[in-house]
Amino acid sequence: MAETQHRHRLDVLGLFDNEYDSEGYRTCSVTGLEIHKSVENHVKLFGLTAVLFMVVGGFFAITVVGTRWEAIGLLSSSDYYIHLSMHAWSMLLFWIVFMEVAILYVGGPMVLGRKLPLTVLAKVGYAVMLVGALTIYYAIWTTSAPDQAPLLTAYVPLPSSPVFYAGALVFVLGVVVAALPFFVSIWQEKRANPGGTLPLVTFGAFITGIIAVEALLGGVVAFSSGLLWRLEIVTSLDAGWYRMWFWIVGHGTQQINLVAMIVVWYFLTHVVGGAEVVSEKVSRTAFILYLLFINMGAAHHLLVDPGISTGWRLWNTSYAFYGATFASLIHAFAIPAGIEAGRRKRGKGGGLFGWLTSAPWKNPMFAAPVIAIILFGFLGGITGVLMGQLQLNMAWHNTFATVGHFHSTVVLGTTITFMAVVYFVIRTMFLREFVSNRLASLQPFLYGGAMGVTALMMMYVGILYGVPRRTPEVVSNIPGTDFSLSAAEPLFVVFGLFAFVAIAGGALFVALAVGSLLFGKRIDPAGNGDLVSDGGSAVASQTMAPRDDLELADDPNDPVHAYEMRGTFVLCLLFLAAFVITYVLNWYLITQLWSIGA
Ligand code: HEM
Ligand SMILES: [Cu+2]
C-alpha cells in the first residue's frame, strides 16, 4: 500500500499507471505477452532516460557539424574536442546503452512472462550509470590543460582528467549491475523449465548479454588502468596495451549494438510486419557464431599499430572474424526471407516484391527497422568488411571515411532501430497515441535518408580527398603546409546541409516521443489493433514462446519455409553486386595512392 502511494506521488505525469491484475500482470494486446509491471516500469525508465541523453548528443551534433563544415566554422579547436567528446559519449554510450538495458529486460523477463527479479539491483544499476554519465559530462566540460578532452577513446598517453576515467569506470560497473536482473531471469527460467529451449528473441538477448559482459570487463581493465596512471599510482602505461584493452570495450560495445539490433529486427518484423522465422536452427547458429568470433573484430582498430605482428592482425581481423561476418550474412538473408515467406503465407505476397510493396511502410515500427536493415547492410556492413582488411584499412584509417562508416552502423543501423523500439514502447507500454501519425510515419525516412547522404559524403571526402577525422579545420587551412584539401569543399556543402536535415529528423523523433508521452491520447489497453493487422500476437508468439522442440512453432501442415523467397534472393544478389563493386573500387583506389609524392 505504502509503495503504491509512493509511486503515485512521484508519477505526476501518469506515465507509470497502467492497470494490472492482483498479481501485477497485464496482457499486452499486441504481443499477447503477460507483462509484469516490474519489467514494464523499468523498461520505461531506462528508455525514457536514453531519449533524454539523445537530446544532449543531438545538440552537440549541431556544434560538431557546424565546425566541420568550415564555411560556418563555429568552434575554436580547443572547444571542438570538448564538444566532440560530449557528442560521442552522449550518443554512443548513454543513449545506446540505456536503451540496451531496456532491450535486455524486454528480451528476457518480458518475453518470458516473468517478473523482473532483483529490482533493487536494476535501480542501483540505473543510479550508478546515471552518476557515471554525469561525472563524465562534468569531466569533459571542465577539461583544462594539461588535460585534454578524451574523445571516445581517451588514448594513453593523451592525458585526460582522472575524473573522466573514474566516471567511465562507474558507468561501466553500473551497466554490469543493471544487467544482473536479466541474467537472473534467464537462470530462473532454466530452473523452472529445465528441458525447454529459450525463445529466439530471448536466446539472442542472452548472447547479447554475454558479449556485453566480456566487453564491459575489458572496459574495467582499460579505464581503471587509465585512472591509476592519471593518479600517478602507476607511472607508465604502455600505449599499445591500453589500446588493446580499450578496444575490447570500444569495439565490444559495437557488437552489443549489432546483436541487440538484430534481436530487435527479428522482434519487430515479426510483431508488426507479419514475418515468420524460416529456420530457427539457422538463425540460432548465426547467433552462436557471433558469440565465438565477434570479439576478434576488436583487432581491426589496431591494424596500423606497430607493436603487434602482421600475422596476429591478419588472423583476428580476417580469417577468424569472417566467422562473424558469415553470421551477419545469415541474418541478412533470414530476416528479409522471414518477412517474405511470412507475408506470402498470409496472402500478402504477389509477384517478386509484392510482399514488400504491400508492407506497412506507414508504421514507423516496421519502416524504421527495414530502413535500418538496408542502410546498415549497404553502407555500414560493406564498408566495415572493407576497412577491416589490412591493406584497405591504410586508405580508410583515421580519415573522415571512418566516421562515415561508423555513422552507418551506429546511426543508420542501431539508432534508427532503437528509435523504433521507443515508438513501440510508447504505443504498447505507455499506451499513448502519437501526437501526429503522419510525422511519425515520415520521421524514419527523413532521418535515415538525410543521415544516409551525410554518411556517404563523409566517406567520399575521406576516401577521395584524404580528409582526416577529428579535426576542426582542414579544408581552409592545414598549419605549416602547402598541402590543400580545398577540392573537397563542394562535398562539404552537401555534407553540411544533409547533416542539418538529419539533426532535424532526430529532433523530430525526440519531439514526437516526448510530445506523445505528454500530450498523446491514452490508448485503451485492448487498442493498438492497427499494429498487428499484418502480423500480430499469433505470429509474434512464435519468436517468443518457450518450446520443447525448435520446429514446433511452425505449423507442420503449412511450413513457412515452403513459401517462395525469390524476392529476397534477388535482393541478396543486388547486395553481393554492391559488395563486389565497392571492393574492387577500393582496391583500385589504393593502387592510385602510390602516386603520392611521385
Ligand atoms: C544527425 C545525427 C548525427 C550527426 C550529424 C553526427 C555528426 C558527427 C560528425 C560530423 C562527427 C565527426 C567529427 C570528427 O571526426 O571531426 C561525429 C563523430 C562521432 N559521432 Fe556523430 N553524428 C550524429 C549522430 C550520432 C549518433 C546517433 C551516434 C551514436 C550512436 C554518433 C556517434 C559518434 C561518435 C562515436 C563519434 C566519434 C567521436 C570521436 O572521434 O571520438 N553520432 N558525429
Ligand atoms: Cu570495431
Is the distance from the beta carbon of residue 123 to the nearest atom of ligand 1 less than 6 Å?
no
> Residue 27: what are its φ and ψ, rounded to 5°?
-100, 130
Residue 246 parent element (H or E): helix 239-273
Residue nearest ligand 1's atom 4 by CA = 61
Residue nearest ligand 1's atom 8 by CA = 61
Q: pLDDT tens, position by position, for the chain (598 residues)?
A: 344 444 567 787 889 989 999 999 998 888 888 999 999 999 999 999 999 999 999 999 999 999 999 999 999 988 999 999 999 999 999 999 999 999 999 999 999 999 999 999 999 999 999 999 999 999 999 999 899 999 999 999 999 999 999 999 999 999 999 999 999 999 999 999 888 888 899 999 999 999 999 999 999 999 999 999 999 999 999 999 999 999 999 999 999 999 999 999 999 998 888 888 888 899 999 999 999 888 888 889 999 998 899 998 988 888 777 888 999 999 999 999 999 998 898 888 888 999 999 999 999 999 999 999 999 999 999 999 999 988 899 899 999 999 999 999 999 999 999 999 999 999 999 999 999 999 999 999 999 999 999 999 999 999 999 999 999 988 887 777 778 898 899 999 999 999 999 999 999 999 999 999 999 999 988 888 888 777 654 445 556 655 444 444 566 677 777 788 999 999 999 999 999 999 999 999 888 876 655 4
Residue 484 is predicted with a pLDDT of 85
Are 277 and 543 contacting, i.e. CB atoms less than 8 angstroms apart?
yes
Residue 536 is predicted with a pLDDT of 52
Q: Ligand 1: which atom is nearest the Cα of residue 502?
A: 1
Is the distance from the beta carbon of residue 474 to the nearest atom of ligand 1 less than 6 Å?
no
Is the distance from the beta carbon of residue 56 to the nearest atom of ligand 1 less than 6 Å?
no
Q: Position of cell 576516401?
A: 463
> Residue 546: what are its φ and ψ, rounded to 5°?
-70, 150
254 CA distance to ligand 2 middle (Å): 6
Neighbours of 117 (CB within 10 A): 21
Q: List the one residue out of 140, 146, 150, 101 whose CA is nearest residue 121.
A: 101
> Residue 212: what are its φ and ψ, rounded to 5°?
-65, -45
530 CA distance to ligand 1 middle (Å): 35
92 CA distance to ligand 1 middle (Å): 9
Q: Ligand 1: which atom is nearest the Cα of residue 500?
A: 5
411 CA distance to ligand 1 middle (Å): 9
Q: Would you mind telling me the total number of residues written for the chain in this entry?
A: 598
Q: Ligand 1: which atom is nearest the Cα of residue 96?
A: 30
Q: Cα 283 to the chain's mean position, in Å? A: 19
Are 44 and 116 contacting, i.e. CB atoms less than 8 angstroms apart?
no
268 CA distance to ligand 1 middle (Å): 26
Q: Give the number of the ligand closest to the Cα of residue 416.
A: 1
340 CA distance to ligand 2 middle (Å): 31
Q: List the one residue out of 572, 542, 200, 204 whose CA is nearest residue 346.
A: 542
Q: Ligand 1: which atom is nearest the Cα of residue 151?
A: 41
Counts of helices then strands in the chain (DSSP H, E): 22, 2
Q: List the one residue out of 4, 103, 19, 24 whose CA is nearest residue 523.
A: 19
Residue nearest ligand 1's atom 16 by CA = 470
Q: Position of cell 515467406?
A: 341
Residue nearest ligand 1's atom 5 by CA = 499
Are 228 and 504 contacting, i.e. CB atoms less than 8 angstroms apart?
no
What does the alpha-carbon distance between residue 81 and residue 87 come to, in Å, rounded to a whole number?
A: 10
Is the distance from the beta carbon of residue 75 to the nearest atom of ligand 1 less than 6 Å?
no
Residue 483 is predicted with a pLDDT of 81
**CATH no. of 36-271:** 1.20.210.10
pTM to 2 decimal places:
0.95
Are 400 and 462 contacting, i.e. CB atoms less than 8 angstroms apart?
yes
Are 44 and 7 contacting, i.e. CB atoms less than 8 angstroms apart?
no
Is the distance from the beta carbon of residue 154 to the nearest atom of ligand 1 less than 6 Å?
no
> Residue 362: what are its φ and ψ, rounded to 5°?
-75, -15
What does the alpha-carbon distance between residue 262 and residue 291 come to, in Å, rounded to a whole number?
A: 14
Q: Give the number of the ligand closest to the Cα of residue 249.
A: 2
20 CA distance to ligand 2 middle (Å): 43
Is the distance from the beta carbon of residue 403 to the nearest atom of ligand 1 less than 6 Å?
yes
Q: List the one residue out of 406, 464, 394, 44 whose CA is nearest residue 255.
A: 406
Is the distance from the beta carbon of residue 470 to the nearest atom of ligand 1 less than 6 Å?
yes
Percent composition of the chain: helix, strand, coil (DSSP 3-state, to 5): 70, 0, 25
What does the alpha-carbon distance between residue 298 and residue 49 come to, in Å, rounded to a whole number?
A: 29
What does the alpha-carbon distance between residue 231 and residue 522 come to, in Å, rounded to a whole number?
A: 53
235 CA distance to ligand 1 middle (Å): 33
Question: What is the domain partition of the chain in residue ranges?
Answer: 36-271, 292-359+563-593, 363-521, 523-550
DSSP, collapsed to helix, strand or coil, labels residue 449 as helix
Residue nearest ligand 1's atom 1 by CA = 503
DSSP, collapsed to helix, strand or coil, labels residue 522 as strand
What does the alpha-carbon distance between residue 324 and residue 328 come to, in Å, rounded to a whole number?
A: 6
Are 353 and 259 contacting, i.e. CB atoms less than 8 angstroms apart?
no
Q: List the one residue out of 503, 418, 362, 501 whose CA is nearest residue 48.
A: 418
Are 67 and 14 contacting, i.e. CB atoms less than 8 angstroms apart?
no
